[in-house]
Amino acid sequence: MKAAIVRTAEHPPVFGEYPDPVEVQGEVIVRVAASALSHLTRSRAAGRHYSSAADLNSVPGVDGVGRLPDGRRVYFIFPSAPFGAMGQLSRVKENQCLSVPDDVDDVTMAAIAIPAMSSWAALTKRAKILPGETVLINGATGASGKLAVQIAKWLGAGKVIATGRNESELASLTKFGADVLISLQQSEQDFVSSLRGETNDVKVVLDYLWGRSAEQIVATLAGRKNEGFGERTRFVQIGSLSGPDISLPSAVFRSSSLEILGSGQGSLSNHDMVKAIAAAALAIVPAHLHIETDAVPLEDVEATWTQTDPHRRRVYVLRS
């Protein structure tokens, strides 16, 4: 079969011939139509993600859309190594496949699945959002964060506060449901002042950035004077685009009802993630979920692998 192939961790995958997967008990062969290039896929191919084994001479791609031998069109996630999703054929456990709604095309489903899962699972499984709660999304101008704004509103958030560094992308979030915009381009003093003025009623935080902005949000939430005893505020950590570490005073937990949770592989089971993606897929059309997407032939994988745009998703399209 034709596939993208990881030869070295330092070089982009190359397009070439790769052995076909052989069916084994409990797993199915998928004829792949589309697979998105996610941060997770790129990190695992380079051996930099905590879940990666840096397997060389393997096919990258953690998820995709394709058809089973019986013709059913499915989304699948975490195919069995070394057969990733960026090949004409892949092999995956049957319980890690789900049917794609008829009104959602292959490219849209491939593009939206993982970023939608990141906020859907964080809100429903980790934070257990309640109707009417205020949600703060730190890092809402990227593709995943922008989708998180839409999903938070669909799941019943009463108010959505969005932070971001890109001013034009931040301004655009109002049309996706953001009620309050806080720029990360302003001085730290002004950022903290903005937080204090807008976060008194925040009950859920989705953090895609970590780093300094997360430190300031945690300190501001923990220092609120009107915080009621027993009224949990759930800070859900999803990504670390601003850095892997923060300074976290112990008094934050002793003096407030702030809880910090993680949402990702390990804190969520594969079943949790598949369930979140299935629910998000059913919401794509009625909730008008939107993500900017570029569809690219898989043959161009080597030339386009390192080209990144945090506001768009690249989906590699495979020929039969």
Q: Considering only 25-34, 49-58, 138-147, 192-201, which range has the smallest mean pLDDT? A: 49-58
- One domain for residues 251 and 308: no
Mean pLDDT of 313-317: 97
Identify whether 278 is part of a domain. no
**What 8-state DSSP symbol labels residue 208?**
S
Identify whether 108 is part of a domain. no
pLDDT score at 59:
96
Mean pLDDT of 2-12: 92
- One domain for residues 55 and 99: yes
Residue 263's SS3 state is coil
Output the six-digit token pair for 201: 């009623």
**What 8-state DSSP symbol labels residue 213?**
H
Identify whether 222 is part of a domain. yes
d(C-alpha 24, C-alpha 171), whole Å? 50
- One domain for residues 171 and 303: no
> Which value, in Å, is the radius of gyration of the alpha carbons in the chain?
20
Task: Identify the CATH number of the domain in which residue 77 sits.
Answer: 3.90.180.10
Side-by-side strand order, sheet with 258-262: 180-183, 159-164, 134-138, 202-207, 233-237, 258-262
- Residues 31, 88 contacting (CB under 8 angstroms): yes
- One domain for residues 202 and 119: yes
How much of the chain, in percent, has pLDDT values that exceed 70? 95
- One domain for residues 10 and 85: yes
pLDDT score at 73:
98
Name residue 164's beta-bridge partners: 183
Mean pLDDT of 107-120: 97
- From the list 311, 305, 320, the residue with the least C-alpha distance to 37 is 305
- One domain for residues 66 and 179: no
Identify whether 272 is part of a domain. no
Residue 161's SS3 state is strand
How many structural domains are present in the chain? 2
Residue 247's SS3 state is coil
pTM: 0.91
- One domain for residues 188 and 58: no
Output the six-digit token pair for 267: 């804190």
Question: Which among 48-57, 87-96, 223-232 has the top mean pLDDT?
Answer: 87-96
Mean pLDDT of 193-199: 95
Identify whether 205 is part of a domain. yes
User: With 70 as the cut, is the pLDDT of residue 242 above it?
Assistant: yes
pLDDT score at 204:
98
- Residues 214, 138 contacting (CB under 8 angstroms): yes
- From the list 144, 137, 194, 149, the residue with the least C-alpha distance to 175 is 149
Q: What is the pLDDT of residues 119-138, one digit of tens each?
A: 999 999 999 999 999 999 99
Identify whether 24 is part of a domain. yes
How much of the chain, in percent, has pLDDT values that exceed 90? 84
Identify whether 267 is part of a domain. no
Mean pLDDT of 188-197: 96
User: With 90 as the cut, is the pLDDT of residue 230 above it?
Assistant: no
Identify whether 190 is part of a domain. yes
Mean pLDDT of 167-172: 96
- One domain for residues 191 and 303: no
Q: What is the pLDDT of residues 245-291, one digit of tens each?
A: 999 988 888 888 899 999 988 899 999 999 999 999 999 999 999 99
Compare 50 and 79 and report the one with higher pLDDT.
Answer: 79
Structural domain for 165, as ranges: 114-262
